[in-house]
């Protein structure tokens, strides 16, 4: 528990004393660089172009076109959204996810910082950043960000997605970033928010964890 206390203390202290946020409004030590290090490859450019078309379809909520950019002949495709557990396996669940007509007033996805490499001939794995604004019906608009890892297959000369996973950072890190970019929270309110999140995580610790720590130093 001592290690956790030190970590939490560092996070809470950082909320009040961290340097000014970077250009993307995230704290500097956690910020995604404006540009990935090193030159972009031809594959990076191809996946970036794919994602530009993917975002355009997503943002106009044209889910038929969006799903047309997947390899729908692959029975093992999966989609892991941050708000749904477990991951969606196969086309029945993926199509159901994109078949909820009328749920959104609007969405704007922006993809950046693409880095891709081949894992086999005509199979590529890529990581990239998602920043989004979303308006769900009867709710206030929301903005956030996420890290993505996806797998693509080249089929008939075109890239198709076959797997997608959203990879949020640790909850306290995400809350801290959201608080930093808040237009309404004071520094004191930011610290209180983090304390509340810390309390939730402490309450979730299993009763046998202290004994486990003693037996696994």
DSSP β-bridge partners for residue 139: none
Task: Using alpha carbons, list the distances in angstroms from residue 187 to 31, 37, 190, 195.
Answer: 19, 33, 5, 12
Task: Provide the 3-class DSSP secondary structure of residue 132.
Answer: strand
Is residue 143 within 8 Å of residue 112, measured between CB atoms? no
Q: Is the predicted pLDDT of residue 36 greater than 80, yes or no? A: no
Given a contact cutoff of 8 angstroms between Cβ atoms, the answer to whether 152 and 162 are in contact is: yes
Q: Using pLDDT thresholds of 50, 70 and 90, give the confidence band for residue 182.
A: confident
Q: Express each pLDDT in 59-78 by its tens digit.
A: 999 999 999 999 999 999 99
Task: Give residue limits of the domains in the chain.
Answer: 42-166
CA distance 185 to 24: 18
Query: E strands of 66-216, at which residues?
Result: 78-80, 88-89, 104-120, 123-136, 142-155, 158-166
Rounded average pLDDT over 129-141: 95
User: Global pTM?
Assistant: 0.76
pLDDT at 45 over 50: yes
Mean pLDDT of 177-185: 86
What number of helices (H) and strands (E) belong to the chain?
A: 7, 6
Closest CA to 147 of 30, 62, 7, 45: 30
Mean pLDDT of 174-182: 85
Q: Which residues of 31-59 are buried (b: 16+ CB within 10 A; e: fewer)?
A: eeeeebeeeeeebbebbbebbeebbebbb
Average pLDDT, rounded, for the chain: 85
Which residue, chain included where needed, has tokens 């996420």?
Answer: 146
CATH 3.20.10.10 assigned to domain 42-166? The reply is: no
- What confidence tens digit (pLDDT) does each residue in 190-215 have? 989 989 999 999 999 999 999 999 99
């Amino acid at each position: 528990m001592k290690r956790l206390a030190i970590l939490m203390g560092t996070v809470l202290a950082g909320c009040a004393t961290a340097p000014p946020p970077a250009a993307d409004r995230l704290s500097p030590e956690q910020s995604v660089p404006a540009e990935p290090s090193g030159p972009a490859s031809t594959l990076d450019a191809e996946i970036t172009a794919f994602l530009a078309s993917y975002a355009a379809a997503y943002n106009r909520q044209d889910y038929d076109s969006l799903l047309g950019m997947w390899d729908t002949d692959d029975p093992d495709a999966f989609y892991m959204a941050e708000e749904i557990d477990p991951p969606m396996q196969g086309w029945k669940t993926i199509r159901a996810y994109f078949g909820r007509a009328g749920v959104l007033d609007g969405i704007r996805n922006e993809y950046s910082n693409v880095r891709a490499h081949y894992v086999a001939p005509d199979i590529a794995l890529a990581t990239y950043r998602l920043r989004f604004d979303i308006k769900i019906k009867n709710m206030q608009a929301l903005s956030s960000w996420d890290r993505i890892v996806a797998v693509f297959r080249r089929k008939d000369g075109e890239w198709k997605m076959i797997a997608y996973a959203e990879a949020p950072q640790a909850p306290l890190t995400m809350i801290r970033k959201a608080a930093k970019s808040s237009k309404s929270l004071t520094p004191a309110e930011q610290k209180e928010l983090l304390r509340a999140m810390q309390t939730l995580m402490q309450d979730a610790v299993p009763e046998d964890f202290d004994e486990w720590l003693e037996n696994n130093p």
